[in-house]
Chains A and B, each alone.
Chain A
């Protein structure tokens, strides 16, 4: 091949390398812009997030109670994260597909109606789906409200703690005597070797 081919080819390759590495570095930040933009219209006048009821009413096309009365409409509502996503259930072998459909309740964990430790996992960031459902989980603060529609009933929780653990730390999904909701996702964004874990305690049921 000619010298001209290698010279032109080098230019194309260099452009592709810059493009791909720019994509790798910048894309994890991109959803933050969306959050910053949306947060303005999803907070009260004093800057606090909406309540679960307000957020559900805003997102729903019909009355939230009527919509979620259908058990196929189980969902997770977290106003601070501007999240209203379906709750999906299924075996661990299907987790890859289930996690792309919504927040996945781990099959071996408890359910809100039984008490114990209800564990829900969700994606945070990937290059094929930058704004994972739990992308903004690091925004959650102690006391923030979480709503879980389960079998037509709304269970309200309040964020109690937030911590980062190693991906091998399975204790967060073990059964507990007290009723709690555990949410976890990947962290940090680029190379998620750890897990960000939120534990929330019941506020009282509707």
Chain B
């Protein structure tokens, strides 16, 4: 794997991790029933 390819894969994984963190935090804030 080239350095460039690895860099962009890791960039994608970082974006996915941040999206997961945002999703989990948003879920935790939404407490109302229904």
Instruction: Please give the residue numbers on chain A whose beta carbons come within 8 Å of chain B beta carbons, in ascending order.
Output: 3, 6-7, 9-10, 13-14, 16-17, 20-21, 23-24, 92, 95-96, 99, 121-128, 167-170, 172-173, 184-186, 190-193, 195
Contacts and interface: CB of A to CB of B under 8 A. Distances in A.
B34 to A, nearest CB: 5
Contact of B27 (A20, A128, A191, A195): A191
A96 B29 contact: yes
Interface of B: 2-4, 6-7, 10-11, 13-14, 17-18, 20-21, 24-25, 27-29, 31-34
B26 to A, nearest CB: 9
Contact of A17 (B3, B17, B25, B31): B17
Nearest to A14: B10
Nearest to A20: B17
A64 B19 CA distance: 45
Given A9-B7, A127-B24, A20 B14 contact: yes
Given A16-B17, A121-B31, 5 more contacts: A10-B3, A13-B13, A17-B10, A127-B28, A167-B34
Given A24-B20, A195-B33, A124 B14 contact: no
A6 B3 CA distance: 6
B33 A168 contact: yes
Q: What 7 A-B pairs have minimum CB-CB distances, sorted nearest first?
A: A126-B28, A13-B10, A6-B3, A6-B7, A127-B25, A20-B17, A7-B3
Contacts of B6: 6, 10
A21 B17 contact: yes
